[in-house]
Structures are given as structure tokens and as C-alpha cells.
Structure 1
Amino acid sequence: MTEGDHCIYTKIIGGNFVLLCLYVDDILIASNDKVTLTEVKAWLFSKFDTKDMGEASYVLGVEIHRDRYRRLLGLCQKSYLRSVLKRFSMENCKLVDVPLITGTKLSNELCPNTTEKKQRMKSIHYSLALGCLMCAMLFTRPDLSHAIGILSRYQKNHGEEHWKQIKNVLRYFKETLDYSLCFNGHNLQLQGYTDADWQEDLDHQKSTSGYIFILAGGAISWCSRKQSSVTLSSMEAEYIAASEAAKEDVWLRKFLASLKVVYYVSKDPEFRSKSKHIEGMYRYIRDVINRLKAIHNESYGFPKRR
């Protein structure tokens, strides 16, 4: 069992490793050695009523594509997205190239303010559509994070303009059906990016943080979230965003280490030379977090912000 995720198990057998991912009654197994993989599967069959489905090509609505010659692996939800478009009668919709219409400014002022408008919006499956979009965003579509984060704020009280933006995301789905997360067999150096706007939330003047982490050429973790407090400057908003990204970075590195990935990639001299900066980066992250704690805890006579 790995640290950080109790549904992922690792086993080292000699110079080989096995990774087992468990989700309810579905299991994915990966290994760098076919014989070891066969032995582990045989043991599972002897202990549990299990069926071997062969090489994984589809799991939890996510399609798995491989190009072994170029050492590429892709994850997409093309079939799922098509079913969502059909569900909302958007199969033949017009195409757009951005999730949110450029210049969009959503707020509570756009929510229905009459009984007639409220009754009409109750007949709109806003929450259902949002849930379908969120499923894609969580699994394979980091490009939807910001749009979904904004649209989810109006789930309980949405107006015509909010629904219009939901349909715009569906049109974006149609345009980007072939988009996928693509991973290669190298670049095993975790990279993270973070950013923040400043008080773009018109209702509460709060900022939005965002980060994304890349490993082996593809995104493995991403987030776009409204900050919990009002910041007094864009710099403060950026600090909060950097702090959230730093915490995610620390967790990801501990998780990857628990997978024993570090042991195997450290044998690659090129990767080892590229990893020399990690210790210094950890020190920087700790320093940033400590400074942020000081900024938010020193009250100077005023109530502390928690």
C-alpha cells in the first residue's frame, strides 16, 4: 500500500516491480516484466474470483491508447464526450475554440429575479450538465478547470447566461473531441506551474488560484479554485496560489517516491543530473510556506485570519 493513496499497491521482486491500482472491483496491473506480471495475476486468480480482461484499453470511461514504437500513451474520453453531447442534443452544435466566451463576466446579478424566470430555470438540467462536464475535467481535461470552477458557483441559482456558458463548454467539447493527455517514456522530472487572477469574482471580490503539474510530458494534477479570503493585491493572490501549488508539489513527490519510481529512474544518469535541484526547491517551498504563515498569522492587534 502506498503512502498517500491506499488504493495503489507496489511490490518489488528482485529487479522488477509491480503496480496494482484498485477501484471498487476494477483492477489495473502494470509491471516492467511480463513473467512477474503473469505470476502476480496467477496469485490473484488463486485467491479471488477474478477475470482477466487482457491489456487495458478502457477504464472508468477513459480510453487508453498506446504507441509502443514511439513510447507514447494517451488517455481520452472521446466516447464519453459524444454520449454527453447526445444527452443534451448538442451532437450537431456549432463549434467554438474556447470553453468560455471571451469577455465573459458571470455574477449573481445574472441569476433569475422573477418567479417566472426561476420556474423556467428549474426545468433546465444545469446541475446534470455540470456534473457531466466535471467528470471529463477531473479525468482527462485540465483545460476545463477554470470554466467549470466558475460555472459551479451558480449551481443552486443559475440564470440564462450561466446556462448559455454551459452550452458553450459543450460546443467546445465537440470541437476538441480528439484531445487527450499524452505521456512519453522520458521526461520523468515533475514540473509545476501556478497562476492567479486578482478579484475577478464580481460577487465577493475574491481571486482564483490555479496550478498544473506535468510528468512524462502529460498533466497528472491540476486545479482551479476560488480563494477563501479577499486579497489586497495581486501579489498576495499569487502568494496564496503558489502556496497551494507548493503543498501539492510536496504531496506528489512523496507519492511518487512511495511508488518506488525514484529507485528506478535514479539509475538513469541523465535523470539524476536533472534532479539535483530538487533539494534546493524543497527548501524554497518550505521557506515560502513559512513566510505565508507569518503573513496570515501576525495580527498586529487585529483578529487573525484563519
Structure 2
Amino acid sequence: MTGNKNVLVNYKEGKEGAVTFGDGNKGQNFGKGDLVLNGVAPLTVVLYLTDGIFFAHIYVNDIIFGSTCESEVTRFVELMQSEFEMSLIGDLSYFLGLQIKQSEQGMFISQSKYTKSMLEKIGFTQVKHAHTPTTSKLNKDESGDPVDPTLYHSMIGSLLYLTASRPNISFSVGLCARYQANAKQSHLTAVKRIFEYLAGTVEFGLWYSCDTYMSLVGYSDSDWAGSLDDRKSTSGVCFYIGNNLVSWISKKQHSISLSTAEAEYIAVGSCYTQLIWLNKMLTDYGYPQKSFTLFCDNTSTINISKNPVQHSRTKHIDMRYQFIRNMVESKMLTISHISTNAQLADLFTKALDAQTYAHL
């Protein structure tokens, strides 16, 4: 549904939880229930009704809305069209460059049209396909030949937008983005390899299955001293609700770690803060999580989180990461070991061989 960008901005809560949309004078009551302004996504309105839940997400002049009660959806459409000039697009199939295919089994989200357009723009439609988006580490390459900064910035910007539905290129794009200030030919070659990989995986995307469960878990990993320029480590974390991937991060750490355990511990701390953020969103939707499970493949990190005797080995680690031990002691967080071969977050920390990449 599209219309005036002020739609749903002027609303108020009436008596007995009834929500009024409009300017107050002409507004109509939509339904009775508890109104929640999503604290994580301020432009999301969640309304708990007596017979279900209704939500609406607003982005500029577009609205995505839905409900577990079909009659409430129909009434909302009638109400909004009576108050504003709006057009009903129908079932969600395209939004902000994302293509959405819905079925009884689940939902598939991709950016294949955007990917094809991007490849045509740079002339990469007939290139040899790469099996992985990156194969090696990069450095500043100060003696290398400089490249057109405008071209490089444009290519990186296009790829960053694509990571919304392609988590498998997040690390590669983030790595190349570090060198935008002074890009060299070696960096441009690495960017072109990402496009070569995309040329062979245009139709890839994210599948969200209906056959799942509402349990939030996280995977945390790091690549110790992976940066060739400053020897900082890279944190990689991803989060699943049931069987479905909902969030992921690939980011270079701010400080230099003195051991793999320290790098992993910092990654675990970042992972847990993101879990808190996701739980806030789930709570607003009526699915609060009382505790979390986080999977890590480093036994030393798990021991540090459980054993206070290890304090002497961790007192040099930034204090903001030490709250992990308190969370474990209060049983709000469980850190479980997972084998390196099954560590899904490994995809966000380093370049992998084709077999491991395809497996993850």
C-alpha cells in the first residue's frame, strides 16, 4: 500500500485501548487492544487485539501490514482508503528492491532483478563464474596502481545494498570496503571476483520456512589477527529463529587481541548484545525469550565465561565484554561448544575454500 508519507504518523490511543488513525477529528477507531510502538524499529506499530495481532511497518510513503486475523486486515484497508489517498498493491511481492515470493511452505526473499541490473551495468553478464566471492586476504598494497575512486565507490555501494539478502558475500564486501579511501588495482580485482561469483548465483536468496519454531540462537566466531594491515581480528556472528536466518554481522574488531581466546570472547560479547536487541523486537511481537543459547567453537572462551579463576587471563580485555560471565552465571546465556566444521558464523570471518563455502 502506498500513499501520503504521513500515514500512520498521526494516530492516538483511545479509550479501552482503541487506536485512532487520522487527524483526531476525522480519525476512526481501528480496534481494541494494546498498542506497542516498537522500540527497536520506531516506524513499526504493533497492536495486540482480542483475537490476534496486527502490525504495520512504515517506510517513507510505503506501508507493509498484516495480521493473524484476516477481518482486521480488510478493515484496516477500508479505514486507510477512507482517510487518505492510497493504492493497495496486494500481497507483498516487492519492497525496497527485495523480491518476495510467498507460499504455504514459507517465503523466499531475493534481489535477483537488482543483481542482474548491476551486472549489466558493469558488463559482467558473460564472465567466467567464480565458486567463491574471495580467495585471499588483502592489504593496503601501498605500492600498487591506483584505480578510479568513483568507480570503486560505486561498485562497493552496489554490493553493500545487496548484502541485505546475500549474507554469503558480507565478509568479502566488508573486506573490500576497508580500502575505499585509497583503492588499488589488487582491491579492484577482489571486487571483480565478487561480481564473478554473483554472475553464477543470481537467483540466490533467503528462504524463510513456516515449518520452524520460535527459539532465538546465535553463532559466534572470529578470525584471529586476520587483518594484514593492523593484525586486528574479525568478528562474525549470525542469528537464527528456529531454522531461519534473521540477522548477521561481519566486522573488524576495534582492538588487537593477544590470543584466539580473547578474539573469540570479544566476538561472543558482540553477539550477546545483538541477541538482546533481537529479543527486544521479539518481545514487541509477543515472543519474548527468557534465555539464549550461543554456539562457539573455542573451548577456552567457554571456560573463561564459566570459571572466575580465569580472571587473571582476561583482566586486560575491555570491561564492556566482561558482562558475559554475569549473564552465564545468571543462566540468561548458555554458551555451547560446536565443531568448527558446523560453525555457521565461520562464513563471516574469513575467505573459505569452495567445498567449505558450499557446505556452510
| TM tier, smaller | 0.7 to 0.9
**Equivalent residue runs for 1:245-260 within 5 Å:** 245-260=271-286
Evaluate the alpha carbon distance shift between residue 157 and residue 40 of structure 1 in structure 2; reply closer, same or farther with a 3 A threshold: same
Evaluate the alpha carbon distance shift between residue 197 and residue 157 of structure 1 in structure 2; reply closer, same or farther with a 3 A threshold: same
Deviates more, 1:5-14 or 1:86-95: 5-14
Among 45, 51, 54, which residue is 1:18 paired with?
A: 54
Residue of structure 2 in register with 1:271 after alignment: none
SS in 1 for 2:86: coil
Among 133, 138, 151, which residue is 1:106 paired with?
A: 138
Is the CA contact (8 Å cut-off) linking 2:132 and 2:197 kept in structure 1? yes
Is the CA contact (8 Å cut-off) linking 1:112 and 1:158 kept in structure 2? no
Residue of structure 1 in register with 2:34 after alignment: none
1:57 is the counterpart of 2:93? yes
Among 268, 271, 277, which residue is 1:242 paired with?
A: 268
Residue of structure 1 in register with 2:334 after alignment: none
| Matched residues, number | 270
Residue of structure 1 in register with 2:318 after alignment: 296
TM-score between both structures, scaled by the size of structure 2: 0.70
Residue of structure 2 in register with 1:87 after alignment: 121
Is the CA contact (8 Å cut-off) linking 1:183 and 1:216 kept in structure 2? no
SS in 1 for 2:237: strand
Residue of structure 1 in register with 2:193 after alignment: 168
Is the CA contact (8 Å cut-off) linking 1:94 and 1:171 kept in structure 2? yes
Structure 1 residue 187, shift from structure 2 partner: 2.3
Is the CA contact (8 Å cut-off) linking 1:112 and 1:157 kept in structure 2? no
TM-score between both structures, scaled by the size of structure 1: 0.82
1:41 is the counterpart of 2:77? yes
Deviates more, 1:235-244 or 1:124-133: 124-133
Is the CA contact (8 Å cut-off) linking 2:149 and 2:183 kept in structure 1? no
Residue of structure 2 in register with 1:203 after alignment: 229
Residue of structure 2 in register with 1:279 after alignment: 291
Is the CA contact (8 Å cut-off) linking 2:51 and 2:69 kept in structure 1? no
Q: Which runs of 5 or more structure 1 residues have no equivalent in the other structure?
A: 263-274, 299-306
Distance in 2 (alpha carbons) for counterparts of 1:191 and 1:297: 24
SS in 2 for 1:156: helix
Structure 1 residue 162, shift from structure 2 partner: 0.6
Give the percent of matched residue pairs that are identical in Structure 1 and Structure 2: 27
Residue of structure 2 in register with 1:159 after alignment: 184
SS in 2 for 1:54: coil
1:2 is the counterpart of 2:34? no
Match for 1:81: what amino acid? Answer: T
Q: Which runs of 5 or more structure 2 residues have no equivalent in the other structure?
A: 1-36, 295-301, 321-360
Evaluate the alpha carbon distance shift between residue 20 and residue 280 of structure 1 in structure 2; reply closer, same or farther with a 3 A threshold: closer
Deviations 1:225-258 (A, max 9, x none): 0000011001000000000000000110111111
Among 142, 161, 177, which residue is 1:135 paired with?
A: 161
Residue of structure 1 in register with 2:131 after alignment: 97
Evaluate the alpha carbon distance shift between residue 36 and residue 9 of structure 1 in structure 2; reply closer, same or farther with a 3 A threshold: same
SS in 2 for 1:243: helix
SS in 2 for 1:21: strand
Is the CA contact (8 Å cut-off) linking 1:73 and 1:182 kept in structure 2? yes
Deviations 1:43-84 (A, max 9, x none): 22233222111111100000001221xx21110000000001
As a proportion of its length, which structure holds more strand? 2
RMSD of equivalent CA atoms: 2.4
Is the CA contact (8 Å cut-off) linking 2:218 and 2:293 kept in structure 1? no
SS in 2 for 1:27: strand
Residue of structure 1 in register with 2:152 after alignment: 126
SS in 1 for 2:113: helix
Structure 1 residue 221, shift from structure 2 partner: 0.8
Is the CA contact (8 Å cut-off) linking 2:130 and 2:196 kept in structure 1? yes
Structure 1 residue 150, shift from structure 2 partner: 0.7
